[in-house]
Amino acid sequence: MFLNPYFNKKNQVISVSQIQASAFAKNVAQDFNPIHDVNAKRFCVPGDLLFALTLAEYGLSQKMTFKFEGMVGDNTPLVFSEHEEKDFTVCDDKGKPYLTVHRSGEVTHCSTQTEAFVRSYVAFSGLNFIHVLVPMMKEQGVMVNPARPLIIYESMSVDLHTLVFSEIRLSLVDQALKIDGKRGDVTLKFELHCGEKLVGTGEKTLVLSGLRAIDEAQMQQMCEQYEGFKLAASA
Distances (CA, A) of 203 to 9, 13, 138, 206: 30, 29, 22, 10
The pLDDT value recorded for residue 186 is 96
As a whole number of angstroms, the distance between CA 49 and CA 30 comes to 12
The pLDDT value recorded for residue 26 is 87
As a whole number of angstroms, the distance between CA 124 and CA 161 comes to 20
Closest by CA to 113, choosing from 68, 80, 158, 81, is 158
As a whole number of angstroms, the distance between CA 90 and CA 72 comes to 11
Closest by CA to 216, choosing from 133, 126, 129, 137, is 137
What parts of the chain have a pLDDT lower than 50?
A: none
Q: What end-to-end distance do the CA atoms of the chain give, in Å? A: 26
The pLDDT value recorded for residue 166 is 84
Q: Global pTM?
A: 0.90
Closest by CA to 156, choosing from 190, 193, 114, is 190
The pLDDT value recorded for residue 235 is 59
Q: How crowded is residue 214: how many other Cβ atoms within 10 Å of its Cβ?
A: 15
As a whole number of angstroms, the distance between CA 182 and CA 164 comes to 43
One DSSP character per residue, 166-233 reads S--EEEEEEEEEEEETTEEEEEEEEEEEETTEEEEEEEEEEEE-S-EE--HHHHHHHHHHHHHHHHHH
Q: Is 230 exposed, middle or buried (0-12, 13-18, 19+ CB in 10 A)?
A: middle
With beta carbons less than 8 A apart as the criterion, state whether 60 and 101 touch.
Answer: no
As a whole number of angstroms, the distance between CA 131 and CA 122 comes to 14
As a whole number of angstroms, the distance between CA 72 and CA 111 comes to 25
Residue type, 191: E
Class of domain 4-234: mainly beta
Residue type, 13: V
Residue 188: strand pairing partners:
175, 204
The pLDDT value recorded for residue 39 is 80
As a whole number of angstroms, the distance between CA 152 and CA 201 comes to 22
